[in-house]
Amino acid sequence: MLKPKTSTNEVETVFTNAVAVISVDEENSAFASLSASLAEIRKLKGVIGYILRGNTSAIIDLAAPDKIIEYAFLSSQMHDSSQEITKQFNLGETESILVEGKNVKVLCMSIGENKISVFMEKSATHAWIIKRILL
């Protein structure tokens, strides 16, 4: 389940053209760096949007506002369930999780305390996105 961490002192929510961006406390530098990278990735062809969750902050940028909740649940579940699978099969520290659906694929990564989910069309190159995030 999605459990967005929120800061009580700084909450900013911006709705632009079909894009919902929720930003909460941007003190974490890694979080800021990742949000900048994701903003760049978001411009790539085939990328539908992303969710970035830190300890005290979250950014959701999705082209389809009606799918925000469903995508947020899926993202959260991918992060949680992959931990159990990784533990069971001794895969080592999780680097990436990729779920491919009929038309859309979701790439999840954990960078420190920050959890990233990038939603894209199946034709998009997720390997490049992984490299870009790890830069």
How far apart, in whole angstroms, are the C-alpha atoms of residue 19 and residue 7?
Answer: 22
Candidates 3-11, 20-28, 54-62, 87-95 — which segment interacts with other proteins by CB under 8 A? 87-95
Q: Which of residues 35-54 bind other proteins (CB under 8 A)?
A: none
Instruction: Encode burial over 96-117: b for 16+ CB neighbours within 10 A, e otherwise.
Output: bbeeeeeebbbbbbbbeebbbb
Q: Could you tell me the smallest distance in angstroms from the CB atom of residue 14 to other proteins? A: 24
> Tokens representing 35?
């949000």
For other proteins, the closer CB: 27 or 70: 70
Q: Could you tell me the smallest distance in angstroms from the CB atom of residue 12 to other proteins? A: 27
CB atoms within 10 A of CB 52: 23
Indicate the helix (H) or strand (E) that contains 39. helix 29-42
114-121: strand order across its sheet: 58-62, 47-53, 114-121, 104-111
Candidates 6-14, 16-24, 51-59, 89-97 — which segment interacts with other proteins by CB under 8 A? 89-97
Q: Is residue 96 a contact residue for other proteins (CB under 8 A)? A: yes
How far apart, in whole angstroms, are the C-alpha atoms of residue 1 and residue 76?
Answer: 6
Q: Is residue 121 a contact residue for other proteins (CB under 8 A)? A: no
Q: Is residue 3 a contact residue for other proteins (CB under 8 A)? A: no
Among 3, 8, 17, 92, binds other proteins (CB under 8 A): 92
Footprint of other proteins (CB under 8 A): 67, 70-71, 73-74, 77-78, 80-82, 84-86, 88-106, 119
